[in-house]
Structure 1
């Protein structure tokens, strides 16, 4: 038969058919509701957390590999490699174990989880030191230095990460592995960075990186304890028992005090960093308004904080060098640095030479044209 002569079957929706489809959708919705409303298996969750908190071979091998990958990511200044290293890290286990031990009031289990955490941290820092010594000629990169300025924002991130990890651990439908990657991102890189900085004898930066790791550990433990407590993990019972907030505070009093002290210190660090950024932005804006004229352009502005002042080094390129009187007047306008010390400008001027053919006419270069020529 020809195509236009093919038979066609037309099916009309009947009211019974619509009712059948609606019934199927309702059944699927009820199934999804039952899946979401599954109760927490307290016994199984406890077994999983306890298993992850043990000092197993898998724990050390995976964290060692993560430290090596993260270390070379830090040394090569590659954020993507650092994040990718966390796919094999397993640092959430012992911290979750400590959180459960506090909630269930199990001192022996706490010692096991704490021992695992200390051994893991020591191993990761040691790997960082070895990598730093092997690659001692490589410079300290921005990825390493970014882990040496902990602020209150890092504390907030760790609190949220710990809560997410604990919630994933108790939820029947969520995978704790994915959340563990995010938590490990906050732990392994600063520990490796501290080891690399120790190898370079940068003790202050190394201590700040360790402080960041400690902040993350304490914050993750507190938020994990809170989620587990809210989920009914109390006194080692499989069933939820009456436990007041006061009891929760008593069991986590040491961690809460440490967290409070860290919060105050990191808030102070954040305010200092904010004041420094505002000061540098204000100074750079004033310097640009003074020197970016007459075809002159600023290359770099560097802040050299010294004991009695902040020396501001300015590299300027152009046609006309600024006069000492201009710099003196600029120094009078500049605000004091965050320490209350004077700000002093020093200019390094690089003259721009215009070369053209003899027969070419002389003409002035406009400011916009000069910017286009000087920009790389």
Structure 2
């Protein structure tokens, strides 16, 4: 009995010891993982605070060479947007000095430097006015002012633009803070955040009198500016950059409060912008799913057609959001089908954000002629690239038809003439044959001849030479081949 009790105690001690060992192993693993992640993600050790502040402050002013570089880059970007050339726009963004004052705003807020903040705001205003004015003059004077896809892409920002601006700003200020700045990161952020194209689009909108384009592009530029400055502020706070000290304690407290207040004022619109862009993005996603799942599958009995490419989704924070659906042809969508779509939109939980959204149904036979022309014009614009491709295919087909035309011969006349000239000819055939030497492929016209069984061999050889020469001359085609059919 005593031995059993001792065995139980030993077992209990062993279990306790093994449990403690497991706990120690887990703690060790957690500690190792934490240390690894700390070494992997810690950026404080390799940060050069003094050099970072000097570099950012040096890029703030806009005067002399910097101003001319900005003007030239704006002109290049405007030409690229006008010509719908992504490569040219990217080149303009690489030489643009637009980022300096924005980083200066974030830096000054992070370290309570009111003088740097004042200079940053001043140069930021100069930068915006100079850029918009340059773009406006270009598009006002330049005779070609097509609404290219590169321009239109900058008039309707969404949640993705917010994320690009914020994480681009993070990457930029982290690269700036590193000892030995990573130039490739700075160039990459300049391209990704795309500060210049929106300002060029503002100038374009003002030049053509389209204030919707101008306000949409300015909204995109504001998003980029706010979130880059916010990312700069947060990173420099995380890296604990030293605060600017003032001799006057009252002035120091006042400036600290003002800087904190301005930082909060920057964060509030940033948060509101992010939330609004997120809501619009979710709304558009549900609207696109609704159109794809419920509207697009509808089949007309006659010549009606749903123009899915013309679907217009308009999001408003109030109750004025709508989805515009365009149908062409003489056949209209029945009222009961439209009622079903509305019911599905309002009752299906997967489309919960669409409950107060109106369906605007535009049907070909019910519209005025001016509306028809508008959508035909839009159809041409949206399908322009496809039409160009079709033109190229048409040219290729025409070339092939031209080749086939050469192979189309007056065979009836040829056969009569050949029979008249060659008494030993029993039958004549013709067919185009595809032939290759494994370097190129071509279609060769081949005539098949069958001579009479009692014809002399030397005579058929001679007649074959003459027949081939006559066919080439008669049909004006030096590629003609002659093939003799052997008698059974």
Unmatched 5+ stretches in structure 1 = 1-35, 238-246, 350-374
Match of 1:313 among 311, 318, 326: 326
Q: TM-score, normalised by structure 1?
A: 0.68
Q: What are the equivalent positions in structure 2 for 1:13-28 lying under 5 Å apart?
A: none
SS at match of 1:290: coil
Match of 1:192 among 176, 193, 200: 200
SS at match of 1:344: strand
Deviation at 1:148, TM superposition (A): 2.0
Name which of structure 1's ranges 100-109 and 133-142 shifts more when overlaid on structure 2.
133-142
Deviation at 1:224, TM superposition (A): 0.9
Q: TM-score, normalised by structure 2?
A: 0.54
Q: Does the Cα contact within 8 Å between 1:158 and 1:183 map onto a contact in 2?
A: no
The corresponding residue for 1:104 is 111
Structure 1 residues 93 and 42: alpha-carbon distance in aligned structure 2, compared to 1, 3 A threshold = same
The corresponding residue for 1:7 is none
For residues 304 and 127 of structure 1, the distance between their equivalents in structure 2, rounded to whole angstroms, comes to 33
Q: Does 1:256 align with 2:273?
A: no
For residues 256 and 228 of structure 2, the distance between their equivalents in structure 1, rounded to whole angstroms, comes to 16
Q: What are the equivalent positions in structure 2 for 1:1-376 lying under 5 Å apart?
A: 39-135=46-142, 137-176=144-183, 178-183=185-190, 185-236=193-244, 251-291=259-299, 301-303=309-311, 312-315=325-328, 322=331, 324=332, 327-335=334-342, 340-347=357-364
Q: Does the Cα contact within 8 Å between 1:334 and 1:343 map onto a contact in 2?
A: no
For residues 83 and 355 of structure 2, the distance between their equivalents in structure 1, rounded to whole angstroms, comes to 33
CA offsets, 1:105-135, max 9 Å, x none?
2222222222222111111111221122124
SS at match of 2:62: coil
Per chain length, whose mean CA-contact separation is higher, i.e. which structure has more relative contact order (CA < 8 Å, sep 6+)? 1
SS at match of 2:358: coil
For residues 169 and 278 of structure 2, the distance between their equivalents in structure 1, rounded to whole angstroms, comes to 22
> How big is the alpha-carbon RMSD for the aligned residues of Structure 1 and Structure 2?
3.6
For residues 67 and 106 of structure 1, the distance between their equivalents in structure 2, rounded to whole angstroms, comes to 30
For residues 96 and 63 of structure 1, the distance between their equivalents in structure 2, rounded to whole angstroms, comes to 17
Unmatched 5+ stretches in structure 2 = 1-42, 246-254, 315-319, 346-353, 367-388, 391-488
Structure 1 residues 280 and 45: alpha-carbon distance in aligned structure 2, compared to 1, 3 A threshold = closer
Deviation at 1:86, TM superposition (A): 1.1
Name which of structure 1's ranges 261-270 and 194-203 shifts more when overlaid on structure 2.
261-270
For residues 308 and 221 of structure 1, the distance between their equivalents in structure 2, rounded to whole angstroms, comes to 32
Structure 1 residues 141 and 92: alpha-carbon distance in aligned structure 2, compared to 1, 3 A threshold = same
Structure 1 residues 264 and 152: alpha-carbon distance in aligned structure 2, compared to 1, 3 A threshold = farther
State the structure with more CA Rg. 2
CA offsets, 1:256-276, max 9 Å, x none?
323322432442244234324
Q: Does the Cα contact within 8 Å between 2:105 and 2:117 map onto a contact in 1?
A: yes
Q: Does the Cα contact within 8 Å between 1:163 and 1:223 map onto a contact in 2?
A: yes
SS at match of 1:190: helix
Name which of structure 1's ranges 211-220 and 331-340 shifts more when overlaid on structure 2.
331-340
SS at match of 1:314: strand
